[in-house]
Structure 1
Amino acid sequence: MKRKIAAIFAADIAGYSRLVAEDEEETLRRLASYREVIDDFIAKASGRIFNTAGDAVLAEFPSAVDAVRCAIDIQESLRTRNMAYPPSRQMSFRIGITIGDVVERNGDLLGDGVNIAARLEGLAEVGGICVSRAVHEQVANKLSVQFADIGAQEVKNIPTPVHAYMVAMRREDGSYATPQLKKVAKAEPALNWMWPLVVGVVSVVAIGVGGFLYFTKLETAQVKSTAASPVPSPAVAPSPSPTPTVAEKAPAPLPTSTPTQTTTTAAMPTPIPPPPAASAGKIAVDAVPFIGERQRAFLSNEYAAAGDYKAFALNIGGFTGSALNQPNEEAARNTALDQCQKRADAAQSPRRCELYALGNKVVYSRGNPPMPPQPWVRHDPTTERPFVAKDFPMLRDQARTRVENMYAPAAKSRSVALGPGGQYFMALGASSPEETTRRSLESCGAFAGSACMIVAVDDVFVVPIPTLLRPNGFFHAATNSSIVADARDEVVRKLGVGTGWNAVAVGTAGRPGLGLKAADEQTAVNTALADCAKHDSECHVIAIGPFTVGPTN
């Protein structure tokens, strides 16, 4: 037998017995399909499945970062697949992850690490992830992930409580869901001499409750339901087709856990402001997100001139639907949503359409997506270079291939926005560079739940793309924990001035060194290291341009 430390991943399906009882053949077929997805993600993240039983999967990973990133990828991929099924038939996994000392025997792993991972899986929400404190400490500053501390949990067959954290998963609209806390209070053991008293008290209470229920008439309120009357087949408004857009929640590359690597913990998404109210009986067309100039012209002209019974629907991918001159509001609502969803489905967009306006009243509840400050693009000949898909930062190879196949040959104007967690969005064939950058930022921001960054416009990378070290996140000096607190404001101030290549290095004491406005990447890195060495030791580079960076392999 061989002992080792490993990150242990445990997953199984919530409500699996019910799904099998309702439709065994269909459930088993879908389980095989979902397992292919899970197995593929685990293999790509350098994991190894060491045991399976029915719907359960046990796997080991070389690091906690690999395990958590893989778990997030799995849950987000399966959530998209589940959208094709009604809620009662959705097949959702719970996942638990811990780091533990395990024993390897004939390829199988045994020990408390495996048991704790299984118990954490039981604490996870449906479609969620629950991790131990050891895992949280390993990944908190290495992945753009939010956690909810649920405290010490009493779990079966584990003698000491397990301190656990829930991973905050993204909703369909890109915002973060707040995990439901499942903290279990530890019950104090009752003293043996108190049992007779407890039994007596319970008996008296039971008799009293029974008498009360016997002599009290319980009333139940009836719920009245009304059925909507059928409406005639409505005429669909000829709203313009949306400009092609592509979004994908692509996972960021997995940062290594070496001491020289530093990333910034992502802040919770900025609260999204409410949607604009209608002004003077018309929709504030310029404030409608995700759409292009043709859709804005349609809203300003045909839609504004139509009668009261009209509706406009959209989704974050930029697909729209509209209905004008309908017999009633219900017909307008249904027709606009149906038209939008058909367009989205035809383009294989995973996003659902939602009603934006009913008549001239904005009813969209999502509000405007988070956006970065302007200017969104700063052209700098020193750092710009031709767009090459294989050099796109923070994407896996599969996502880079997709960008290469779709973005490179697309018509201008086009752009790609990148989110802090590796999400990206392409807006293709827009009417102008201004439109394409706005649309890609809006959709990416809604998708990621936080402000994104324009990385490429047409055929050019418009931000510095590091090549000496691997980009693995967005760099925010004001919140970067590797930099000593009293130096962060000065770093922010100096980085905000000028153009060219910038780099930041820190040493063991967190004292920063800066390489600013350099003509090339190597010069910026060398200058930052030399500056850091003046007042710190063992300096290493943590940021180049707008990215945090780590070793290339």
Structure 2
Amino acid sequence: MKRKIAAIFAADIAGYSRLVAEDEEETLRRLASYREVIDDFIAKASGRIFNTAGDAVLAEFPSAVDAVRCAIDIQESLRTRNMAYPPSRQMSFRIGITIGDVVERNGDLLGDGVNIAARLEGLAEVGGICVSRAVHEQVANKLSVQFADIGAQEVKNIPTPVHAYMVAMRREDGTYSKPQVKKAAAKVAAAPVWMWPLVVAVVSVVAIVVSGFLYNTKLKQTVTAAVAPAPAPSASPSPTPTAAAMAPSPMPTQMAKAPMAPMAPSNAGAAMAPMPAPSPSAAPMTGKLAADSVPFINERVRNYLAGDYSAAGDYKAFALNVGGFTGSVLNQPSEEAARNGAIEQCQKRADAAQSPRRCELYAVGNNVVYTHGKPPMPPAPYFRHDTMTERAFASKDFPIVRDPQKVRLENMFVPAAKSRSVALGPGGQYFMVLGASSAEEAARRSLESCGAIAGVACMVVAVDDNFVVPVPTLLRITGFFHAASNASIIADQRDEVVRKLGEAMGWNAVAVGTAGRPGLGLKAADEQAAVNTALADCAKRDSDCHVIAIGPFTVGPIN
């Protein structure tokens, strides 16, 4: 761990829970879009995102000037985007910025600087920016920004008041708004000394009256209880591992919310982007509960389902969400109580870590009632190590996704603890699992969650510190390559291409000519050799050959 002074930026959506409750899918789509804007501005301002959870973003900047300028750019850009929506559906961020001493651990930043930035964000207006006095002193004479001094503010879990300033945001006509200073609650004047005997006397009389009333009430309840049958006892909720218990150690524990909530479990605390709604399955999952077939969960929860849960009698229920959060209750007084208890427990855990996914019932009793089918999965093994193609993971080379997502991978995946995996969908959807018990478990869970989000089978691209598939660099990656359905290859040759590619390790490439006759470069030691061999093989039986696939990806010319 190392200490440093940094400008800390904390952002959060105002009214996010209400927006999700009203229209989850639309809110998540817009959140992904707005996050791209935020991530892009932060990267351009030399900032680094060190933590995200749901709608919250924490970033560090080399200077307060960079942080404030970036915050203003973000708020003005998002304000323009919000103009397309009615006021009730506008998605506005609050931003807090401070300069403080922080500790860096595994890429995450901890300390008072992070906590104070989070508290300042809570003081900010909707769509506004609130900064500490230290930031104000740094930027007051360097940026054309107006401030409103709101004085010393008492904030939660910070022992001394924080002197804060509101940033005046520019209106559409070029003028500046005047921040609304939040008034502190007036202190109640102390009562005169002569009033205390009177107060004590009045309180004593009231206490006697209330005690008598409660005593008589208790007598009535005791008589009623003596003749009424006692309800069946209800056991405490099941010992499903808590979010904190399932959280991997390197995942950050200090977030922009107060009070600090436990982080998501390792299969849910991963980054999820973009986040469209899960695609509906052909048929819901039904039948008897089999712990081995439950998706999204880690082995600890799976063992609980196979043991304590399965052995318990009715009434009981188990709930989960795509991100891997779970809830479970046993020995409830009714089926309805079991259903409600499992959903409530799961959702509390998901909300505590700001997961954008809603929890759903998976099982009631020992019967599966999940409304979605199994997530689409590729055939096993889910990844394989090949020394000729495997290379060190580099976020800048991650295929298909945009630059803001690459920044997120750099900030979250790279510093996280093993075992970790990233699964990628053909439309750019991806899901990270961090801190799993094994590489195989990380791969499975990332594929399950990614597949549920994308609606089609995803592919494990990286495990721990390495890419585990060939990632082309000579040509531009355009999508996933499926030889069996690729229209560029003549139909009667597709099965042969599938067979030969399935048997080949190393670098592989496919080229076709005007007639669609394929040429293959198989088991090559490097990408260039595979491309050259594929073009030469194609030229033997076709003309105007060009490469259409390298490894598992379709490729095209680099623009």
TM bin, normalised by shorter chain, reads 0.5 to 0.7
For the pair 1:402 / 2:403, whether they are aligned, the reply is no
CA distance in structure 2 between the aligned counterparts of 1:372 and 1:232, rounded to whole angstroms:
46
In structure 1, the residue matched to 2:428 is 422
**Structure 1 runs of 4+ with >6 Å offset:** 33-36, 38-41, 89-92, 231-234
User: Which of the residues 263, 271, 284 maps onto 2:290?
Assistant: 284
Residues 383 and 364 (structure 1), Cα distance of their counterparts in 2 relative to 1, 3 Å cut: same
SS of 1:496 mapped into structure 2: helix
In structure 1, the residue matched to 2:531 is 525
In structure 2, the residue matched to 1:239 is 240
User: Which of the residues 272, 275, 285 maps onto 1:275?
Assistant: 285
TM-superposed deviation, 1:301: 2.3
CA distance in structure 2 between the aligned counterparts of 1:545 and 1:39, rounded to whole angstroms:
31
Cα deviation digits, residues 448-497 of structure 1 (max 9, x gap): 11111111111111110101012121100111111122221221122111
Report the residue type matching 2:410 in the other structure.
Answer: E
In structure 2, the residue matched to 1:539 is 545
The 5-angstrom pairing of residues 74-89 of structure 1 reads none
User: Which of the residues 481, 487, 490 maps onto 2:493?
Assistant: 487
Residues 232 and 37 (structure 1), Cα distance of their counterparts in 2 relative to 1, 3 Å cut: farther
For the pair 1:467 / 2:473, whether they are aligned, the reply is yes
The 5-angstrom pairing of residues 68-217 of structure 1 reads none
Answer whether contact 1:475 1:543 (CA < 8 A) is retained. Answer: yes
TM-superposed deviation, 1:393: 0.8
Answer whether contact 1:380 1:500 (CA < 8 A) is retained. Answer: yes
User: Which of the residues 362, 373, 378 maps onto 1:372?
Assistant: 378
In structure 2, the residue matched to 1:356 is 362
| TM-score normalized with structure 1 length | 0.54
For the pair 1:478 / 2:520, whether they are aligned, the reply is no
Answer whether contact 1:416 1:425 (CA < 8 A) is retained. Answer: yes
User: Which of the residues 335, 341, 350 maps onto 2:347?
Assistant: 341
For the pair 1:458 / 2:464, whether they are aligned, the reply is yes
CA distance in structure 2 between the aligned counterparts of 1:436 and 1:341, rounded to whole angstroms:
23
Residues 380 and 341 (structure 1), Cα distance of their counterparts in 2 relative to 1, 3 Å cut: same
In structure 1, the residue matched to 2:304 is 298
CA distance in structure 2 between the aligned counterparts of 1:363 and 1:393, rounded to whole angstroms:
37
TM-superposed deviation, 1:345: 2.1
Residues 384 and 38 (structure 1), Cα distance of their counterparts in 2 relative to 1, 3 Å cut: closer
TM-superposed deviation, 1:232: 11
Answer whether contact 2:286 2:369 (CA < 8 A) is retained. Answer: no
Structure 2 gap ranges (5+): 1-21, 41-77, 92-231, 247-264
SS of 1:487 mapped into structure 2: helix
CA distance in structure 2 between the aligned counterparts of 1:331 and 1:531, rounded to whole angstroms:
67
CA distance in structure 2 between the aligned counterparts of 1:37 and 1:460, rounded to whole angstroms:
29
TM-superposed deviation, 1:507: 1.7
CA distance in structure 2 between the aligned counterparts of 1:513 and 1:251, rounded to whole angstroms:
38
Residues 336 and 412 (structure 1), Cα distance of their counterparts in 2 relative to 1, 3 Å cut: same
TM-superposed deviation, 1:313: 0.3
Residues 374 and 507 (structure 1), Cα distance of their counterparts in 2 relative to 1, 3 Å cut: same
CA distance in structure 1 between the aligned counterparts of 2:534 and 2:30, rounded to whole angstroms:
47
Residues 271 and 413 (structure 1), Cα distance of their counterparts in 2 relative to 1, 3 Å cut: same
In structure 1, the residue matched to 2:150 is none
Answer whether contact 2:393 2:466 (CA < 8 A) is retained. Answer: yes
Aligned length: 326
Answer whether contact 1:272 1:368 (CA < 8 A) is retained. Answer: no
In structure 2, the residue matched to 1:436 is 442
The 5-angstrom pairing of residues 382-397 of structure 1 reads 382-397=388-403
Residues 251 and 453 (structure 1), Cα distance of their counterparts in 2 relative to 1, 3 Å cut: same
TM-superposed deviation, 1:34: 6.8
TM-superposed deviation, 1:543: 0.4
Answer whether contact 2:281 2:373 (CA < 8 A) is retained. Answer: no
In structure 2, the residue matched to 1:197 is none
SS of 1:455 mapped into structure 2: strand
TM-superposed deviation, 1:305: 3.1
Residues 504 and 303 (structure 1), Cα distance of their counterparts in 2 relative to 1, 3 Å cut: same
Residues 37 and 531 (structure 1), Cα distance of their counterparts in 2 relative to 1, 3 Å cut: closer
Residues 429 and 276 (structure 1), Cα distance of their counterparts in 2 relative to 1, 3 Å cut: farther
CA distance in structure 1 between the aligned counterparts of 2:31 and 2:320, rounded to whole angstroms:
33
SS of 1:374 mapped into structure 2: coil
For the pair 1:250 / 2:250, whether they are aligned, the reply is no
In structure 2, the residue matched to 1:496 is 502
CA distance in structure 1 between the aligned counterparts of 2:501 and 2:329, rounded to whole angstroms:
50
TM-superposed deviation, 1:235: 4.2
Report the residue type matching 1:551 in the other structure.
Answer: P
User: Which of the residues 500, 518, 522 maps onto 1:512?
Assistant: 518
SS of 1:543 mapped into structure 2: strand
Report the residue type matching 2:272 in the other structure.
Answer: E
Residues 334 and 544 (structure 1), Cα distance of their counterparts in 2 relative to 1, 3 Å cut: same
